[in-house]
Chains A and B, each alone.
Chain A
Amino acid sequence: MNIAARENFDKVVKLAIRSTGLIVIVLLGGIFFMLLYNAFAFFLKVSPMDFITGTQWTPSGKLASYGILPLLVSTTLVTIGAMVLAIPLGIGTAAFISEYAGKRLKNILKPAIEMLAAVPSVAIGFLGIVIVGPFLAHLIGQPNGLNALNGAILLSVMALPTIITVTEDALRGVPNSYKEASYGVGANKWQTLIKVTIPAAAPGILAAVMLGIGRTIGETMTVLMATGNAQAFPHGFLGSVRTITATIAIETGEVPYQTTHYFALFAIATVLFIMTLAVNIVGEYFVNRFRKYHSA
């Protein structure tokens, strides 16, 4: 090929690649607009006040009611439970890997955690039914143990790899000089970890927690399989709950196209979208702050 042909070809390819870039951006932007558009259609029929404050989600009843509160409380309950279980375990494990484990142990633990992250959520949900459920049922005398606690336990397992990986990055990012200064004044390894390393890595750990929460809120299959999905307002950890994700999963399959109920599912999906977006943006903010702080 002569030079002119090559340079023309270069221009064509550049144009093609640029347009695929734009296509992708349009497609992904489409998700956002699709959600907003359908949610807007919903709010033309149901007042936002009723949606936000309603305590009943009974879209198929005779007097359809679209209150998001029971779903929101369910999602919150399960998420809080999962975080209570996962945060201490996650930070502890990350600290062990970054501060105590030798190179060989690290080379076993890190792939193990990646393996844990790779287990599909439907498999975790299945184990919720066959292991955690019967275990809880035996413990508290319920017939099947499908409740908020079960969901929280499973979600904590799913959030752990994210929390561990990001926390470990944060702990490793703390400059050695901080630790050396601490050893210099006579602190031991544990005191250094608690008093120096963890506080210095705090923004990074917060980011880890946020990203873990983001994953937990949006998880569908595990909660769908393990929490019982009762439509009533949630009654605490030992009762059955139905999260936003589970509601979408259950009802979308049966709902007729472009009815109020159909739009309602997009409305709760929009709420879910905004929640995960907020959590992820906060998480990203802390990741960046941590980086800036330590590269300065």
Chain B
Amino acid sequence: MKKLTPIIEWGTLLFCTGTVCFYLFVILYDLIHRGAPSLSWAFISTQPSAGMTKGGILPAITGTVLLTLITAVVSVPLGISCAIYLNEYAIDSWLTRVIRACIRNLSGVPSIIYGLFGLALFVQGLRMGTSLLSAGFTLGLLSLPYIITTTEEALRRIPASTREAALAVGATQFESIRDVVLPAALPGILTGVVLTLSRAAGETAPIMFTGVAFYINSPAGYLNQEFMALPYHLYMLATQHQAIDVVRPLAYGTALVLIMVVFILNLTAFYIRYKHSKNDE
């Protein structure tokens, strides 16, 4: 009995870890195993056809790429600038602490609420209609708190003495930020940006009522028009199509492409972080 207990104890923890790994394995295995047969050059390079039962997902891919780009254009400059304001310029007071707490909590706000906000502000309030731009702005807002938080963390890791060194040779505060602080914090900022964008690329709820469409006739690319996107395409193929069994292989193919896009972005972020941690040694 005495010899058995450690095995049971250790086994319990191993079981937990094993189950978690099993989940990841099942997700990857199922998507790859059943999605790979659908993948082909034609699948990612042609328009859907025959009422979505045939053809490829090209417009959904370009739609997701464009959407992510707009998200980046909206959130990256604003987010980094806001983080610089908070970490470099704002005087630490109860006000900045409240602002920080708000921004942290905003990153916990459900994405569907951003969708509602996008609908009320961009689609209806600013009369931008359901469009690529409305959806991009909505995802941009959703991404802002993450970009701000990760950028501020990266800035905070740069010691005050580095800033003082620049000031002491006669740099202005902005010059010290531009020439010394930002370059040093860049890998950390970049990691945060890429991870945030990978999250945005996979989001569905915020774009559902701000501009995404199941099918559009023209190729994506018009800022003021509706567009297709990979996550929404998967959702529609999986739940709303009238011939659900017929399109299942297409749904699997779409899911696999989506997860590949997200993982490639994630691996890029890991790579930046890994390379940076090596440089530090």
Residues of chain A touching chain B, judged by Cβ–Cβ distance below 8 Å, are 6-7, 9-10, 13-14, 16-18, 20-21, 23-25, 27-31, 34-35, 38, 88-93, 95-97, 100-101, 109, 111-116, 118-127, 129-131, 157, 160, 164, 188, 190, 211, 214-215, 217-221, 224-225, 245, 248-249, 252-253, 257, 265-266, 269, 272-273, 276-277, 279-281, 284
Contact = CB atoms under 8 A, between A and B. Distances in A.
Contacts of A127: 26-27, 30-31
Closest 8 CB pairs of A and B: A218-B110, A92-B16, A120-B202, A21-B85, A10-B172, A96-B13, A220-B205, A20-B81
Of the listed residues B78, B79, B235, the one surrounded by the most CB atoms of chain A closer than 10 A to its CB is B235
Of the listed residues B20, B23, B89, B105, the one surrounded by the most CB atoms of chain A closer than 10 A to its CB is B20
Contacts of B188: none
A215 B108 CA distance: 7
A130 B78 contact: no
A253 to B, nearest CB: 5
Contacts of A119: 27, 202, 259, 262
Interface string B46-70: 0000000000000000000000000
Contacts of B231: 120, 122-123, 221
Interface in B94-134: 99, 101-106, 108-117, 119-121, 124
B9 interface: yes
B105 A122 contact: no
A54 to B, nearest CB: 21
Given A24-B79, A120-B262, A17 B89 contact: yes
B162 interface: no
Interface stretch (B36-44, B140-148, B219-227): B140-148
Interface string B205-231: 100110000000000000000000001
A115 B24 contact: yes
Given A28-B103, A123-B27, A221-B205, A9 B20 contact: no
B45 interface: no
24 contacts: A9-B172, A10-B174, A17-B85, A21-B89, A25-B102, A28-B103, A31-B114, A34-B121, A88-B16, A92-B17, A96-B14, A112-B21, A118-B263, A119-B262, A120-B231, A127-B30, A218-B109, A245-B112, A249-B205, A252-B119, A253-B208, A265-B116, A272-B110, A284-B101
Interface of A is mostly: helix
B145 A28 contact: yes
Contacts of A120: 201-204, 231, 258-259, 262
B113 A269 contact: yes
B82 A245 contact: no
Nearest to B237: A126
A109 B105 contact: no
B6 A190 contact: yes
A23 to B, nearest CB: 7
A220 B110 contact: yes
Contact of A277 (B105, B124, B145): B105
